[in-house]
Amino acid sequence: MALLKPRSRRGGGRPTIADVARKAGVGAITVSRALREPGRVSEELRRQIEAAIDELGYVPDPNARALASARAEVFGVLVPSLTNNVFAEVVRGIYDSLSDGPFRIQLGNTHYSGLEEERLLQVFGSQRPAALIVAGIDQTPTSRNLLQNAGCPVVQVMETGPDPVDMMVGFSHLDGGRTATEHLIEAGYRRIGFIGARMDPRSQRRLAGYRAAMEKAGLFDPRLVTTTPVLSSVTLGRELFRDALAKMPTLDGVFCNNDDIALGVLFECHRASIEVPKTIGIVGFNDFDMMQVAFPSITSIRTPRYEIGRRAVAMALAAIAGNRPQERVVDLGFELRRRESTAR
């Protein structure tokens, strides 16, 4: 008589929770509990179960878990760019904070497109993630709606604003732009340009900060502003600076939308023998490592990218654990790093 079930598990024969339960002499559900809520299982059984797990080399199947509990141990992370170092550091912060626990990261690249963001939120939602972390606060109404109905903690990162979907961690780009510009003004520069590429909402707010500072000092002139929607790069920084100079030869300072642009400006100054900081003052944004090494070293606004990632995860984990933080909007601030490029 043949065996009824020829042990042909479809799934490749890895040990399951039932195998562990059999070996430990307990019910499957007790194994499940021992894994998820160890406190609710007696110490004796827990030890037996752990021994069985070790012996069999059991690893829980995240897919089965997600299906049964209608909740995947996944953090959905949406950023507008994978190669922009700013977001890479945010992602690194998220990753480092999550690598101890059971949570995986599902990365989405919106390419600075609201439509793509909507599409990704749709896809991510179908997985019932444990939390969503999205860059920016300017979601489309559709995206906002998707976030609101995601049924999980949501953290908007990089910026602060008055109206969080759920939680927020970031800083004020407007204040950052204003601080950078005020610093140039205080240093004695007057014909201060703004140079920016890829004018996403954060860049727009830095520009607004620049404008506020310039207007307050009675120095604003629209011809001082040079922008392009093209993706930022060092090469582009150089080109935009040449455009700006051509348009406004009396330029004596520039606030650059980001450090790439600032570096391009610096190199062009070298090339054209424009003295920095004497003839032109330069301020960057983000304060990448290279800013302090550049010659002359470049003043920049230090932004807490890595810390934003870490804090976003901490808030999301707290919310998952049931104690949503009191402060739903966390401003991590920024810091002006004064260097040679503005030391006139």
Work out whether 32 is an interface residue with DNA (CB under 7 A). yes
**Minimal distance, residue 216 CB to DNA, in Å:** 56
> What gap in Å lies between CA 190 and CA 171, rounded to an integer?
27
Per CB under 7 A, 341 contacts DNA: no
d(CA 235, CA 103): 39
- Closest CB 76 distance from DNA, rounded Å: 18
Beta bridge partners of 157: 135, 169
| Token pair listed for 40 | 């609710």
Piece in contact with a copy of itself (CB under 8 A), picked from 27-35, 206-214, 227-235, 244-252: 227-235
Length of the chain counted residue by residue: 344
18 binds, among a copy of itself, DNA, none (CB under 5 to 8 A by kind): DNA
Cα(239)–Cα(77) distance, integer angstroms: 33
Instruction: Indicate the residue type of 252.
Output: D
Of the candidate spans 38-46, 130-138, 151-159, 320-328, the one that interacts with DNA by CB under 7 A turns out to be 38-46
164 belongs to the binding site for DNA (CB under 7 A): no
d(C-alpha 27, C-alpha 84), whole Å: 50
| 320 touches DNA (CB under 7 A) | no
Q: Are strands 335-337 and 299-302 parallel, antiparallel or unpaired?
A: antiparallel
Residue 199 tokens read as: 């004018």
Neighbouring C-beta atoms of residue 9, cutoff 10 Å: 9
Q: Binds 16, which of DNA, a copy of itself, none (CB < 5 to 8 A, cut-off by type)?
A: DNA
Task: Give the burial class of 293: count Cβ atoms within 10 A of its Cβ; 0-12 exposed, 13-18 middle, 19 or more buried.
Answer: exposed
60 interacts with DNA by CB under 7 A: yes
What tokens were used for 236? Answer: 């582009």
Q: Pick from 1, 70, 293, 321 the residue near DNA by CB under 7 A.
A: 70
What's the sign of the alpha-carbon dihedral 88, 90, 91, 96?
Answer: positive
- Residue 326 touches which member of a copy of itself, DNA, none, C-beta under 5-8 Å by kind: none
Interaction residues for DNA, span 111-150 (CB under 7 A): none
Query: Using CA atoms, how far apart are residues 159 and 137, in angstroms rounded to an integer?
Result: 7
The entry of DNA, a copy of itself, none that residue 315 binds, CB within 5 to 8 Å by partner kind:
none
Indicate the DSSP class of residue 233. Answer: -
Stretch in the footprint of DNA (CB under 7 A) among 21-29, 148-156, 182-190, 310-318 = 21-29
CA distance 26 to 169: 45
Measured from the CB of residue 263, what is the shortest distance to a copy of itself in angstroms?
6
Dihedral over Cα of 183, 187, 193, 196: its sign: negative
Q: Determine which residue in the list 45, 217, 320, 343 makes contact with DNA, applying CB under 7 A.
A: 45
Nearest to 80 by CA among 119, 114, 111, 120: 111
Q: Which of residues 143-162 bind a copy of itself (CB under 8 A)?
A: 151
Q: Tokens 């995986």 identify what position?
A: 104
CB of 42 or CB of 149, closer to a copy of itself: 149
Which of these ranges, 118-126, 161-169, 213-221, 324-332, lies near a copy of itself under the rule CB under 8 A?
118-126
Partner that binds at residue 134, options a copy of itself, DNA, none, CB closer than 5 to 8 Å by kind = none
Provide the binding-site residues for a copy of itself, judged by CB under 8 A.
10-12, 14, 59-64, 66-67, 70, 72, 82-83, 85, 88-89, 91-92, 95, 99, 104-107, 109, 122-123, 125-128, 151, 233-235, 237-238, 260, 263-264, 267-268, 270-271, 289-290, 292-295
Provide the binding-site residues for DNA, judged by CB under 7 A.
9-12, 14, 16-18, 25-30, 32-33, 35-36, 40-42, 44-45, 58, 60-61, 64-65, 67-71
